[in-house]
Amino acid sequence: MTTATNSSASGAPTLQADAKLIGLVGLAHAISHFSQLVLAPLFPWLKDAFDVSYTELGAVLTVFFVVSCIVQAASGFIVDKLGPRPVLFVGLGLLALAAIGYSMAQSYWMLLACAMVAGVGNGVFHPVDYTLFNRKVAPTRLGHAYSVHGITGSLGWALAPAFVVPIAIAYSWRVALASAGVVALGVLLVLWLNRSVLALDVKAVHKATGQGEPAAVGGEFDFLRIPAVWMCFGFFFFYAMVISIVQTFAPVAAGHLHAVPVALVAVCLTVYMVASAAGMVVGGFLASDPSRCERIVGAGFGIAALLALVLAFASFPAVLVPALFGAMGFASGIAGPSRDLLVKKSTPPNATGRVYGVVYAGLDIGQAVAPLIFGRLMDHGQYLSVILGLALVQGVLIASAFNVRRVRRTALVPVSA
């Protein structure tokens, strides 16, 4: 299942080889998240440049995530057929092309077209990343691989505004977006120079995807009949809602509930993301035993839900609100690596790309739905309802995790490539 570049003489992946692979995949994942947030911080500039409303600019992001969702589900099939490396290179290339295209846009419609290109590029990463991890990383180090994957994604989100806004202020929004494209091209070059680390040779790909084996009854869509796959899809749908609520509405809602100064409200998200990354480091060690992944997910999001209820109902000084967001982020981060193990344990060995593509499409759908629900609550001043909704969705995640384990007892149907 592994190539010589990732194996010791005995055939087991070495720590050095695994670390290099995990680092390269994590770097690519950071660019995926980085590309998701290069436009939003520049909305004030884009609004004036194209004479459009914030609603119209928001529609550009909607197009991005809708296309990404469709491509994410479809690209898993391509990964299973061709292997992950060429798909990863195409995805990074498209993200770079889209960013440079944004910088050259002369109309709103050109922004929309570039968002479609970016959505195609963004949609390939989860099927690619998890196929590489599950095929090439030693099982005892998978928890750490998932941990790094989550951390680099969070860092990519954090880097985007810190990168594009200063460049836009110093030069222009066009230079900022072109620079973002150059960053993506730079990462693509790094991965190409280390392409042997990302390789699955032809025999390994055939073995991993079932090609060359007798065809099973049914076809390559048989994995869709596995109940656990759809439970995982639902889990990631609600997980994306949690992320969307925290990133977009919860800090402002908590600020209204506890009379938090604007400066402290702005700090809440940063504290949450940094604490979440720290929690993922701890979660990587806890996930070394896959048998307890449901319990870890349940504990992590259970604590997060309790903290959200404290945020909703307790009275305390405004200065403690960022600390509560940090604690909530740490608890959620601990659950991160075990969250990814839920999917691995539910995936037939010859359908990794397809399963991860469909399951992680739930992330894009959740991020598209949550603003419609919670944005309306915010418009009507229902700040308590926003925080209670966050606690409710976190509670649903606990139930979803244990339902995945329950339905996983259903025999996996044969899946052919």
- Find the length of the chain: 417
The structural domains of the chain, with segments of one domain joined by +, span 4-209, 222-408
Dist CA 213 CA 314 (whole Å): 60
Question: In CATH, what class is 222-408?
Answer: mainly alpha
Q: Where are the beta strands (DSSP E) in 273-348?
A: none
Other CB atoms within a 10 A radius of the CB of residue 372 amount to: 8
The pair of three-digit structure tokens given for residue 110, joined into one six-digit string: 């050109």
Question: CA angle, 356 as apex, 353 and 361 as ends, to 5°?
Answer: 125
Return all residues near 261 (Cβ < 8 A) that are at least 6 apart: 255, 318
Going from the first residue of the chain to its last (417 residues), give the mean pLDDT of each consecutive group of 10, the final group possibly shorter: 45 80 94 89 88 81 86 83 90 97 95 95 90 85 85 84 88 96 97 91 49 46 74 87 84 89 78 86 80 85 95 92 94 86 72 75 81 81 93 90 66 44
Are the C-beta atoms of 361 and 305 separated by less than 8 Å?
no
Tell me, yes or no, if the pTM score tops 0.85.
no
Are the C-beta atoms of 181 and 97 separated by less than 8 Å?
yes
pLDDT at position 273 is 81
Q: What is the CA radius of gyration of the chain?
A: 21
Question: CA angle, 279 as apex, 274 and 280 as ends, to 5°?
Answer: 100
Dist CA 111 CA 185 (whole Å): 20
Question: Counting Cβ atoms within 10 Å, is residue 272 exposed (0-12), middle (13-18) or buried (19+)?
Answer: buried
pLDDT at position 415 is 45
Name the CATH topology of 4-209.
Growth Hormone; Chain: A; (1.20.1250)
Q: Do domains 4-209 and 222-408 have the same CATH topology?
A: yes
pLDDT at position 216 is 42
pLDDT at position 176 is 95
